[in-house]
Chain A
């Protein structure tokens, strides 16, 4: 078992599978592996211990959300903006900076792109990219 810093994570997005374009200037980010639906209550008079549940089965897809220090002239940022504008489904790849470069790939859409503009701050974008199906994980 080892411990790793999260700085150095790599985020790629593009139409190729795996995607080739590294999204530059990515800041604090979160990857959500998908919430599972709660168990379904199937308790009956016959249930042992008066309780019985079954697996809900459903699971939300992989989701990336994070901050990017936005440069409107940067080609990698323009890929995100254009994909969001057009509603394009492309591929998202997240690579962790661990020794084995653990990674996920998922077909995904840029579902949210907002640019907060604080008076005393930097130009950044809050981006959400949501998977459209199952992701592939490689440790």
Chain B
């Protein structure tokens, strides 16, 4: 089973290589695992793993998670742009096999509204892999 890092990297590569997603971002590769650089400009995506249940058994190590969930938080100056960015993330990942051989599945999507902390609109997609 691919490691968490490998799955995360495969998700990143898919988004970074998406022709549909590129014009919606402020700059090529404005997809940030975990934290956003201070100089980053919106629109951008912040991705992070939010869950992963180990497969515990009596006699073996738990090993890698069986199902992992990744959150893609899409930030943009306007609500429509944030939602369009989120929908592009979903189109790029949901049901499309990754380089690791895994196939992501959309498990939740949310309109996060206006985020006063960063003064941007936010829309999230949770993808399980």
Contact = CB atoms under 8 A, between A and B. Distances in A.
Interface of A: 6-11, 22, 24-27, 29, 69, 119-122
Given A120-B105, A120-B107, A120-B128, A25 B67 contact: no
Contact of B59 (A10, A121, A122): A10
Contacts of B116: none
Interface residues of B, number: 11
B55 A10 contact: no
Contact of B57 (A25, A119, A120, A121): A25
A18 to B, nearest CB: 17
B56 A119 contact: no
Contacts of B66: 121-122
A120 B59 contact: no
A71 to B, nearest CB: 11
Interface residues of B, dominant DSSP: loop
B60 interface: yes
A26 B59 contact: yes
Contact of B58 (A9, A120, A121, A122): A9
Interface string B43-81: 000000000000111111000001100000000000000
B55 A122 contact: yes
13 contacts: A8-B58, A9-B58, A10-B58, A22-B59, A24-B60, A25-B59, A26-B57, A26-B59, A27-B58, A29-B58, A120-B67, A121-B66, A122-B55
A77 B32 CA distance: 43
Contacts of B107: 120
Given A120-B105, A121-B67, A8 B59 contact: yes
Nearest to B67: A120
Contacts of A25: 57, 59-60
A119 B66 CA distance: 12
A25 B63 CA distance: 12
A30 to B, nearest CB: 13
Across chains A and B, which 10 residue pairs bring their CB atoms closest together, nearest first? Answer: A122-B66, A25-B57, A26-B58, A9-B58, A120-B67, A27-B57, A120-B128, A69-B55, A122-B55, A26-B57
A69 B59 CA distance: 11
